[in-house]
Structure 1
Amino acid sequence: MAANMYRVGDYVFFENSSSNPYLIRRIEELNKTASGNVEAKVVCFYRRRDISHSLIQLADKHAKELEEEKESPAETELTDKQKHQLRHRELFLSRQYESLPATHIRGKCSVALLNETEAVLSYLDKEDTFFYSLVYDPTQKTLLADKGEIRVGPRFQADVPEMLPEAGQADDRDQAKLEEKLWDPECPLTNKQIDQFLVVARAVGTFARALDCSSSVRQPSLHMSAAAASRDITLFHAMDTLHAHNYDLSSALSVLVPAGGPVLCRDEMEEWSASEAAMFEEALEKYGKDFNDIRQDFLPWKSLTSIIEYYYMWKTTDRYVQQKRLKAAEAESKLKQVYIPTYNKPNPNQISLTNGKMATVNGAGPGTFHAAGGGRACESCYTMQSAQWYSWGPPNMQCRLCVSCWMYWKKYGGLKMPSRAEAPEERTSPSPAANEPRSRSHAPRQSNHIPMRNSGSPKSSMKTKQAFLLQATRLTKLARHMCRDVIRLRRAARRPFVPINCGAIKAECKSAFNSS
């Protein structure tokens, strides 16, 4: 039951297609629709196969720079297989949200920010574990480092200043850059005298707002003007005035009301208009506390300092309390968790044995497989034995995966070992030949490739540096000359995807040998 209970914050596998790898998402909300179904609002993660080749090169460059900055390099050199599988564990976070039916959830996984102080092999030791270090923007097609990255390396070391001179020695520091004393707690005034002076400062601020035309429009009532005059900006001005006049009350009072009229001190809450405040709340709902994006997209005429200062003042208002209550009420109406039963329907790519031929469950797949010898080996682990088989790759390649490699491919978006039909970013490997003659394209030997990467799917095109070659055995060469009636092996390469009838070849060869 616990494994099938999904909550907000869980990282999960989503299945949007039976023939594609799972999507990896983080649940942000669980909402019940009017029809009674449950939809999950999720954050999207992307795999290497989902982004362009140029961005993959940028990500590899970033990883290399992080490796070079480590104080202690990796203790063990990674094997080709480990490097291959680590690519399947790397994800790219995005700020993109989407809504998906909760019934498409296929299990839980774990996604963590890359820990640069931990061995990268630790991610391979854990099942269904992924990592990310970069943020992908699918709209702008950019990769950026996550703001929460662990800052390790010589670039982030603190610059320790030189030791300060001892007492009595000359201090050559720039005094303008040093801190300035703003209040003396040992001042001669009592707490009662200070409070009385602050009351006078508030009264002056209220009177100043009554005389100011723009303030009377924004605060039409006396209570609103008094509340605005009681804010921190007025108190800070009063205390700064006291400190500047060496805590002389009579001198400080004369400064509060100069010859031109009472001093009016405004903060960001008063400087912003009602429309600007509404735009800020809309931006905050969309971007959260990302003040740079708020300024860029909603309030470009405001400074970043002004926006940040307004935010922390806005949090003290009744408006913030009301919105917080509304969000709490909305959260109560949302689902905290949802139970999704284990998905056990047969996959359309599942292969079943019918009339001596291998075919997909729904009858529409990559054609048929020759039943003699159990069909082709698994494209990943090359095994010939499996409790279940799944068709994989382009239909004309007639590839299949065992049940273990199929689940690996669904979860990690790649094969355990590189295959000739896998995504072209991986190198190719030949399948072990069965005990039967094969046409030229069925038994390629390992070759280097120039990848032509697009979506990363098995259908990606590629160019070869050298042609494939089949090294035929003497028995195969002899069979080509002896078998002329039942099957002409010399012409088999013209139809590379038609199975070769090994039984007929053996019978004709045996008959020819006996007659000779």
Structure 2
Amino acid sequence: MAANMYRVGDYVFFENSSSNPYLIRRIEELNKTASGNVEAKVVCFYRRRDISHSLIQLADKHAKELEEEKESPTETELTEKQKHQLRHRELFLSRQYESLPATHIRGKCSVALLNETEAVLSYLDKEDTFFYSLVYDPTQKTLLADKGEIRVGPRFQADVPEMLQEGEADDRDQSKLEEKLWDPECPLTNKQIDQFLVVARAVGTFARALDCSSSVRQPSLHMSAAAASRDITLFHAMDTLHRHNYDLSSALSVLVPAGGPVLCRDEMEEWSASEAAMFEEALEKYGKDFNDIRQDFLPWKSLTSIIEYYYMWKTTDRYVQQKRLKAAEAESKLKQVYIPTYNKPNPNQISMTNGKMATVNGAGPGSYHAAGGGRACESCYTMQSAQWYSWGPPNMQCRLCVSCWMYWKKYGGLKMPSRAEGPEERTSPSPASNSRSRGHAPRQSNHMVPMRNSGSPKSSMKTKQAFLLQATRLTKLARHMCRDIIRLRRAARRPFVPINCGAIKAECKSSFNSS
């Protein structure tokens, strides 16, 4: 029951297509529609295969820079297989939301911000675990570092200067050093300081009464007194005391100069009602991302002003009321939902009948030349599996075993690089297979090995790929000795037509014996 219970904040697999990998999402809300169905409002995560090749290069560059900054780099210790599988674990967070039917949930997973203090191989040791370090904007097609990244490493360490010896000259820029703003050992008692602060508040209240704009914003005496009691007035009073060496008479004369009482305003008074409303709207959209709030809603305000206003706004009744409304709204929403385990057969599931391969929905890729049960798994190259699934374009007649199929659905790739993704020759444990496929290496090492470039993360799914045929020595020899059975040059132009490997072997063998 617990495994099938999904709550707000869970990271889950969503299935939008029977043949494509799962989507990875985080549940933000669970809402019941008018028809009685449950919809999940989710945050989108993207895989490497979902973004452009140019952005993939930026992501790899970012990862390399982080690795170089580590005191003990680990990237060199990774094998090619580990690097290949780690790419399947990398995700890109987005600020995009979407609503999906809760019935499309296919299980839970775990997504974490890349921990620079943890070994990267630890993500491979955990099942259904992913990591991210960059934020992807699907609209602007940009990648940015997550603002919540853990600041660990040499670039975040302070440079502590050497301690000056007694009598040594200080050549530092004094304007950039800290300035003392209050002396706790001042000659004034706490009572005298409190009395001075009361006078400063009274002056601030009187100044608001004289100011026309303040009278409009704070029409009552109580509101004016409350505004004059905030930190901006107290900070000004204490700063005045410090600048006048804690001389009360001198500081009082500064509070009320010849032109009238000093009026100190903070951000709560400086902002208009319309600006406050825009800020609340921006906060609802972006959360505490103050850079985006300033850029899209309040460009005439400084970042310091917006942040200061936010923390003052949190002390108002307006904030308390909004918090209560959100709590009541959240109380009415679904907290969790039970989704039964999905056990319907996948349309890509293969059933074998009389040497034919057909998917469960009857729309299979057609004839499957099977001289030993069919092709090996495209990922682990096994010939035995409790269940097979068709994979890739139908005309390529590729299949995955049940283990590799689940890996493909969860991680969006194959456990090992596809035979179409590497130039090296691969030999299958079964020499009986005599089928060929464009973009895939034949089963025996005396065949030509097709190779192609796989620059794009989506290139493995394209049906039209340029490739070259690299001939082995035995293949070159077979071109001249097997002219009667088959013309290899002509066969290479028809890569989907099976080659009778047994006949070629027999002819080569007879030619060798006769010579």
TM-score class, shorter-chain normalisation, is: 0.7 to 0.9
Shift of 1:78: 2.6
**1:321-356 CA distance string (max 9 Å, x none):** 111111111221222222111100111111123465
Which structure 2 residue ranges, 5 or more long, are not aligned? none
| Contact kept? 2:379, 2:416, Cα under 8 Å | yes
CA distances 1:359-378 after superposition (whole Å, capped 9, x unpaired): 11111232332454212221
Q: Aligned pair in 2 of structure 1 residues 505, 164: CA closer, same or farther (>3 Å)?
A: closer
Q: Secondary structure at the match of 1:452?
A: strand
Matches of 2:283 and 2:4 in 1, distance apart? 34
The CA deviation at 1:97 is 1.8
Alpha-carbon separation, structure 2, partners of 1:451 and 1:371:
21
Contact 1:443/1:470 (<8 A) preserved: no
Cα 1:348–1:244 change in 2 (3 A) is same
Q: CA deviation at 1:477?
A: 14
After superposing the two structures, state which structure 1 stretch, 291-300 or 421-430, moved more. Answer: 421-430
- Look up the match of 1:27: 27
**What corresponds to 1:16 in structure 2?**
16
Cα 1:515/1:67, change in 2 over 3 Å:
closer
- More deviation, 64-73/24-33: 64-73
Cα distance between partner residues in 2 of 1:367 and 1:222: 87
2-side partners of 1:15 and 1:82: how far apart?
26
Separation in structure 2 between the aligned mates of residue 334 and residue 340 of structure 1, nearest angstrom: 17
Shift of 1:494: 7.1
Pairwise CA distance, 1:15: 0.6
1:108 shift after superposition = 1.2
* 1:362/1:439 CA distance change after superposition, 3 Å: closer
Are residues 71 and 429 of structure 1, via their aligned partners in 2, closer, same or farther at CA, if it must alter by over 3 Å?
Answer: farther
The C-alpha deviation readout for 1:287-329, integer Å capped at 9, x for no partner, is 1111111111111101111111111111111111111111111
Change (3 A) 1:178 1:494: closer
Normalised TM-score (structure 2): 0.84
- Residue 470 of structure 1 and its aligned partner are, at CA, apart by 9.5
The verdict on how the C-alpha distance between 1:388 and 1:186 changes in structure 2, with shifts beyond 3 A counting, is: same
Q: Is contact 2:451–2:468 with CA below 8 Å preserved after alignment?
A: no
In structure 1, how many angstroms separate the alpha carbons of the residues matched to 2:173 and 2:56? 48
Q: Which moved more, 1:296-305 or 1:420-429?
A: 420-429
In structure 2, the residue matched to 1:264 is 263
Residue 101 (structure 1) shift: 1.4
**Contact 2:393/2:463, CA 8 A, preserved across alignment:** no
Structure 1 regions of 5+ residues with no counterpart? Answer: none
- For the residue of structure 2 that corresponds to 1:107, the secondary structure is strand
Paired with 1:252 and 1:52, the residues of 2 have a C-alpha distance of 65
Inter-CA distance 90–484: structure 2 relative to 1 (3 Å threshold):
closer
Greater shift, 115-124 or 404-413, is seen at 115-124
Contact 2:25 2:43 in 1 (8 A): yes
SS at match of 2:202: helix
| SS of aligned partner of 1:464 | coil
Per-residue deviation at 1:468? 8.5
Quick one: percent identity of the two aligned structures?
97
Seen in structure 2, the aligned counterparts of structure 1 residues 378 and 270 have a Cα distance that, compared at 3 Å, is same
Match of 2:440 in 1: 442
SS at match of 1:144: strand
CA contact (8 A) 2:41 2:98 kept: yes
8 Å CA contact 1:379–1:431 kept in 2: the answer is no
Whether contact under 8 Å (1:453, 1:461) holds in the other structure is no
Say if 1:503 and 1:255 are closer, same or farther in 2 by CA, change over 3 A: closer
Counterpart Cα distance in 2 of 1:470 and 1:388? 33
Give the superposition deviation at 1:417. Answer: 1.8
Q: CA deviation at 1:432?
A: 6.3
Q: Taking structure 1 as the reference length, what is the TM-score of the superposition?
A: 0.84
**Paired residues of 2:218 and 2:224 also in contact (CA < 8 A):** yes
Change (3 A) 1:440 1:477: farther
Q: Residues 515 and 336 of structure 1: is their aligned pair in 2 closer, same or farther, counting only changes over 3 Å? A: same
Distance 1:48 1:169, change over 3 A: closer
Question: How many residues end up aligned between the 2 structures?
Answer: 513
**C-alpha contact (below 8 Å) 1:423/1:457 kept by paired residues:** no
Residues 394 and 458 in structure 1, CA contact (< 8 A), matched pair in contact too: no
Say which is worse superposed, 288-297 or 130-139, in terms of deviation: 130-139
Whole-angstrom CA distance in 1 between matches of 2:513 and 2:423: 49
Instruction: State the secondary structure of the residue aligned to 1:200.
Output: helix
Once the two structures are superposed, the pairs formed by residues 59-458 of structure 1 within 5 Å of their partners are 59-74=59-74, 77-166=77-166, 170-354=169-353, 357-420=356-419, 434=433, 444=442
Post-superposition shift, 1:500? 7.5
Q: Give the CA deviation at 1:36.
A: 2.1
Preserved contact between residue 485 and residue 504 of structure 2 (Cα < 8 Å): yes
Give the 3 Å change call, closer, same or farther, for CA 423–412 of structure 1 in structure 2.
Answer: farther
Shift of 1:196: 2.9
CA distance in 1, matches of 2:379, 2:346: 19
Task: Determine if contact 2:94/2:138 at 8 Å carries over to the other structure.
Answer: yes
Decide which moves more: 408-417 or 153-162: 153-162
Partner deviation per Cα, 1:429-463 (whole Å, 9 max, x = no partner): 9996516xx69988647999999999999984899
Q: 1:494 to 1:153 in 2, by over 3 A?
A: closer
Greater CA drift, 368-377 or 355-364: 368-377
CA positional deviation for 1:224: 1.7
SS at match of 1:475: helix
The CA distance in 1 between the partners of 2:507 and 2:444, in whole Å, is 33
Distance 1:357 1:484, change over 3 A: farther
SS in 1 for 2:467: coil
Q: Which moved more, 1:407-416 or 1:493-502?
A: 493-502
Task: Identify if the C-alpha distance between structure 1 residues 441 and 252 changes in structure 2 by more than 3 Å, giving closer, same or farther.
Answer: closer
Could you tell which deviates more after superposition, 311-320 or 490-499?
Answer: 490-499
Query: Which stretch shifts more, 490-499 or 91-100?
Result: 490-499
Distance 1:430 1:163, change over 3 A: farther
Q: Distance in 2 between matches of 1:311 and 1:59?
A: 33
Work out the CA distance in 1 between the residues paired with 2:472 and 2:175.
Answer: 88
More displaced, 152-161 or 92-101? 152-161
The 3 A distance-change label for structure 1 pair 439 and 314 is: closer
Greater shift in the superposed pair: 389-398 or 195-204:
195-204
The verdict on how the C-alpha distance between 1:230 and 1:357 changes in structure 2, with shifts beyond 3 A counting, is: same
The answer to whether the 8 A contact 1:419-1:429 is kept is no
